[in-house]
């Protein structure tokens, strides 16, 4: 009888452990589907544009996925999407997020630089301070160079801009350096 008492608990343990060891246990939920696929076809990463906006296009799988560009919903038709994105002057990051139900979302971030052309103003005859202010107001970087001889220090007149490089009227991109030559005698 003692042996019956020992065997009964072991049988119970084996009976409780058997279903977990069989390897045939089915999960209670199916595994989540794969990842959403996102392909931004335009613009390319590191694109340089001059317009104040850019047309973003792409494809997404599944075709029923939801797409957000810069936080705004974008319509998806047949797996393709298009959005017009406004750009600031200089570097911009455009983010795109695609999601679909339980699938893992996909994200893309594109760098787009908006370059705004600026014409170098006519600065001949103005003071160095005024030239610096006018160039800075246009988003250009002035580099002032004093020119002249030791005799210029004896002249009772103020130094003025004699020339610029690039020349006045030349179109450059915002942030470009403009060399300004200043002297009392041009």
pLDDT for 1: 47
pLDDT for 166: 97
Helix (H, G, I), strand (E, B) or coil at 42: strand
Q: Which residues contact 56 (CB under 8 A, 6 or more apart)?
A: 40, 42, 43, 69, 82, 83, 84, 85, 94, 96, 110
pLDDT for 15: 41
Paired with 144 in beta bridges are 180
Helix (H, G, I), strand (E, B) or coil at 119: strand
Domains in the chain and their CATH numbers?
37-114 (2.60.40.10), 117-183 (3.30.10.20)
Paired with 11 in beta bridges are none
Cα angle 140-146-148, degrees, rounded to a multiple of 5: 145
Taking 50 as the pLDDT cut, the residues of the chain under it are 1-22
pLDDT for 114: 93
178 near 120, Cβ under 8 Å?
yes
Q: Which element (helix H / strand E) includes 83?
A: strand 80-86
The tens digit of pLDDT for each residue in 29-81 reads 766 678 999 999 999 999 999 999 999 999 999 999 999 999 999 999 999 99
């Amino acid at each position: 009888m003692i042996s019956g008492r020992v065997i009964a608990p072991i049988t119970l343990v084996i009976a409780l452990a058997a279903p977990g060891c069989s390897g045939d246990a089915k999960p209670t939920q199916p595994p989540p589907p794969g990842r959403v696929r996102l392909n931004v076809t335009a613009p390319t990463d590191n694109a340089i544009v001059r317009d104040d906006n850019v047309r973003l296009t792409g494809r997404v799988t599944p075709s029923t996925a939801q797409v957000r560009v810069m936080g705004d919903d974008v319509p998806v038709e047949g797996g393709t999407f298009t959005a017009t994105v406004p750009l600031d002057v200089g570097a911009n990051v455009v983010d795109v997020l695609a999601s679909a139900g339980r699938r893992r979302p996909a994200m893309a971030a594109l760098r787009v630089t908006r370059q705004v052309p600026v014409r170098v103003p006519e600065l001949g005859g103005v003071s160095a301070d005024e030239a610096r202010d006018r160039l800075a107001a246009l988003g250009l970087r002035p580099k002032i160079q004093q020119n002249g001889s030791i005799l210029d220090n004896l002249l009772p007149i103020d130094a003025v801009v004699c020339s610029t490089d690039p020349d006045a009227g030349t179109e450059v991109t915002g942030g470009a350096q403009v060399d300004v030559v200043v002297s009392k005698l041009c």
